[in-house]
Copies of this chain bind each other. A is one copy, B any other.
Amino acid sequence: MPAEAKVDISARPASPPLTERQEARRRRILHASAQLASRGGFDAVQMREVAESSQVALGTLYRYFPSKVHLLVATMQDQLEHMHGTLRKKPPAGETASERVAETLMRAFRALQREPHLADAMVRALTFADRSVSPEVDQVSRQTTAIILDAMGLTDPSPAQLSAVRVIEHTWHSALITWLSGRASIAQVKIDIETVCRLIDLTEPGAAQGNKSQGR
């Protein structure tokens, strides 16, 4: 499945091309953000501290990322790219599409467990984001969709399959939140993921679907 370059193109809004120093600043900021987040989660990412850690004035930080939520969502985009790359190297081994998706998400989940504070910061920012961050959040969503479709081994999904993927993403985000806020165990998240992934089986060609009103 050859689809490497496409990601990088859509990743940046690419409005004005950044100079080298600017690219370096941006990278320092994202690094500081991830670092602080890894320590104490959402609350520990304080804009003044991010600015100081990344050797940038507060005003500059806000020029690069117009709010804390923007910053953390961008941090998530960054991490997601890593993740997608990593996952691509070792594709999931399951037989059915739903097994492979569940395996992929559980692998991502285990990665998040290694940095729970970072996960907290990123996921909280994602769900707290208001309309002003929609484009960036959408980008994260597209990236996530791409990862799931990859795991399914699809290049040209049907509408029903896209719906299933949407629901899987919903479940993934919400399950993460319940885990992060201590209301669900790791085992519980696993069950939820496995449960929702069975939706995929319903969309397979041979599956008998006794349904109506599944418009567009």
Contact = CB atoms under 8 A, between A and B. Distances in A.
Interface in A102-123: none
A198 B171 contact: no
Interface stretch (A24-32, A50-58, A129-137, A146-154): A129-137
Nearest to A174: B170
Interface string A172-216: 011101100111000010011011101101100000011101111
Given A174-B169, A174-B170, A194 B214 contact: yes
A127 B180 CA distance: 11
Contact of A167 (B141, B181, B182, B196): B196
Interface size for chain A: under 10, 10 to 19, 20 to 34, or 35 or more residues?
35 or more
A134 B36 CA distance: 24
Contacts of A181: 129-131, 133-134, 137
Contacts of A196: 167, 170-171, 196, 199
A124 interface: yes
Contacts of A214: 191, 194-195
Contacts of A182: 131, 134
A84 interface: no
Given A141-B183, A174-B174, A164 B195 contact: yes
A124 B131 contact: no
Contacts of A128: 124, 127-128
A49 interface: no
A40 to B, nearest CB: 12
A199 to B, nearest CB: 6
A68 interface: no
A182 B195 CA distance: 28
Contacts of A177: 127
A136 B106 CA distance: 28
Given A137-B181, A167-B171, 19 more contacts: A124-B128, A127-B127, A129-B181, A130-B181, A134-B182, A141-B183, A160-B195, A163-B195, A164-B195, A166-B188, A167-B196, A170-B170, A170-B173, A170-B196, A191-B214, A191-B215, A198-B199, A198-B209, A199-B199
